[in-house]
Amino acid sequence: MSESNQPTIFSRGFFPKLFATFFFVGYLPKAPGTWASAITALFLYFVWPPQWYIQFPLIFVVYIFGVWAAGRAEQYFGHDARKIVIDEVAGQMTALFMAPHFVLAYILGFLFFRIFDIVKPPPARQWESLRGGYGVVADDIAAGFYAAIVLNILLAIFNKWGVTYF
């Protein structure tokens, strides 16, 4: 085989696998989706900019690349395989969109997202059946949206009652 015909990391799907598994977090043997969500929430706590006009495009970029990577990674791992966790990253980012920068808010955002990601209320469950990477990521965006709504309602109630959340 000539040097130009040698397989490369690009031809083996390295980058879709890298991104779809969130830098190989998806290879963890126990609860890779939960780990991806937890790492995302922790990372966002320290680097998430407070401006919506920065957060929203970042979520959109992760969504677009997530759909691409998940769709490509399905060729190697199967449809919505456990190793594909970029959908949890996009969903967790959505859940923490414009969340106040308090530890309790991020913990609740993480917990609510995991609950909605597992329960998958409509239309999240139906979106899961979309073809390719869209179905992998769309249901988690919906779960993140539900989590963000519940989080903000709960924080508004806390605020009305005068409860501080660190």
For 164, which DSSP code?
-
Q: Is residue 165 in a domain?
A: no
For 22, which DSSP code?
T
Q: Is residue 7 in a domain?
A: no
Q: Report the interhelical angle of 86-95 vs 32-47 (nearest 10°).
A: 50
Q: Is residue 29 in a domain?
A: yes
Q: Is residue 117 in a domain?
A: yes
Q: Which domain holds residue 55?
A: 21-160
Q: Is residue 5 in a domain?
A: no
Please tell me the total count of domains within the chain.
1
Residue 13: predicted pLDDT: 86
Q: Is residue 77 in a domain?
A: yes
Q: Tell me the one-letter amino acid at 83.
A: K
Residue 113: predicted pLDDT: 99
Could you list the pLDDT tens digit for every one of the 166 residues in the chain? 445 555 555 557 899 999 999 999 999 999 999 999 999 999 999 999 999 999 999 999 999 999 999 999 999 998 889 999 999 999 999 999 999 999 999 999 999 999 999 999 999 989 988 889 999 999 999 999 999 999 999 999 998 998 876 5
- Please spell the DSSP secondary structure of 42-99, one letter per residue: HHHHHH--S-HHHHHHHHHHHHHHHHHHHHHHHHHH-TT-TT--HHHHHHHHHHTTT-
Please classify residue 28 by burial: count the beta carbons closer than 10 Å to its beta carbon, then call 0-12 exposed, 13-18 middle and 19+ buried: middle
Q: Is residue 34 in a domain?
A: yes
Q: Is residue 115 in a domain?
A: yes
